Structure 1
Amino acid sequence: MKREKTTDLRKLSMYGFELVTGGHNFFALLDIDITNLRTFLRQKRREGTGGSLFSLVLKAIGMCLQEFSEFNSMIDLKHTTTFEQVDLNIPIEIEDAGKSITKQCIIRDINHKTITEIDHEITNAKTSKNADKGYVSSPFIRKMLTSLPLPLVRFMFRRILHNHRLVQELSGTIFVTSVSMFSQVPGYIIPYIGGPKAVSFALGSITKKPVVVQNEIKIREMYNITVAFNHDIIDGAPAARFINRFRELLEKSYTELL
């Protein structure tokens, strides 16, 4: 048996998750055919103008949030705040003192960045000491917060959650997690959603599956993606339109993302 002390970063994560549990959520489990998209990206890379699939999917999410602004919103019992700028928050894994830890990377105003710029920003964040700048990135701040009485920390977190502008500054307007680079196991990842935000994404594995295309069975590359919606602010019909546009961008209209 091995027993280790819980890190300050994990403690703060636990405090935060405790305050944003529950909610009224619904989910969409998607199989998106990215066969043509991957062929297109490989050709672009040979031409020296392509980028990663991950960054292109992030750009597609950003474009959908810009077109359907109610999904780039936050809500509480008193106010709904809709943001013009899409700030996309992704977790990144970095090495710290010989251990792998997860920190956040916020891609600000993603719709005004190219796929290549998004790639560079993610790569730089993995090696930068300021990868989670704007969050509790300072070890001193983390130590101070975890040494305070738990009721006081909860009070502070609640105050933050009701300040939508501060939530945007600290954690962006949408959360996207991905396991596609680590797993080839078919299935869906259910993303965590809580607090005031309207939507979150989980990018799962890419697997080859038999699919009916023009009345013929063909082997296609399918991307398992899950979208979680906050039903306090998003209803079924708008969610369906949002998903349809997202699928269209990845399956047919991907040139719009470059």
Structure 2
Amino acid sequence: MGRSRLTAATAALAAVAACVGCGTDGGASGGGPGEDGGGGAVEAVLTPDSVDRGAVQRASVGERERRGGQAVELRGAGSETEPASGPATAASAADGISPGAPTDAEVRAELRQARRQLARFRTFLGTTAYLQTGPRARVLPDGTAVAPDDAPEPVKRIIQAGNAIAKFPYKWGGGHGAWRDDGYDCSGSVSFALAGAGLLDSPLTSGGFMDWGAAGPGEWVTIYTNPGHIFMIVAGLRFDTSGRGRAGTRWQEAPRSTAGFVVRSVPGL
């Protein structure tokens, strides 16, 4: 709308100038004011309300014919203003940086935040068993275990409790006088892990586990016991005080012989 009004106004001014020229030429040739060179009356091009576009066009054509077809071209009248490029935009273009890109300070701040989140995640891995790892649990380099995400909640709690003592030293009778001890034997270790899931009220010896729970292997937890030793398999990992491998942990991925052991399980697991 602004462009149309500016174009019309420009044309009107050109027509008025043409008409003034006509009156001057007419006076020189004997014509009176308000007459063209041929003695005809000049059409009004302006009205109180608007520009008479038809009169403007006719006056412009007549002026070009009178001057031998010469015309004056007005460039840029009514053209849209292009957005100015400020110093920041020009500098960004010169450096090849897209407008709106983050600054170096913002990038460094994001990196610091990412490092803090990674540190918290590493701490999380070292203290909990709640992490998806596939169809079976696995042992981390620090000797703790992580449970499958789809494992039942008691299984995750067994692993979490086992992590708490996974690297404690072997101590004969450890874990039987009190749940908290500075070392645990085989049955004390298994008892502590099961108690962490609320499955055992007080520690049992390896012989005491021979008729505990249900007979046969379980889907998630299987206990192998005899009068001299006990270990259990939890989500595919062996929790055992013998044969401790890397990081001196009770969690082990390698199997062992089960000959001479009674097989028991946790009902429902």
Task: Sort the TM-score into its range (normalised by shorter chain).
Answer: under 0.3
Q: Which has the higher strand share?
A: 1
TM-score by length of 2: 0.23
Higher gyration radius (CA): 2
TM-score by length of 1: 0.24
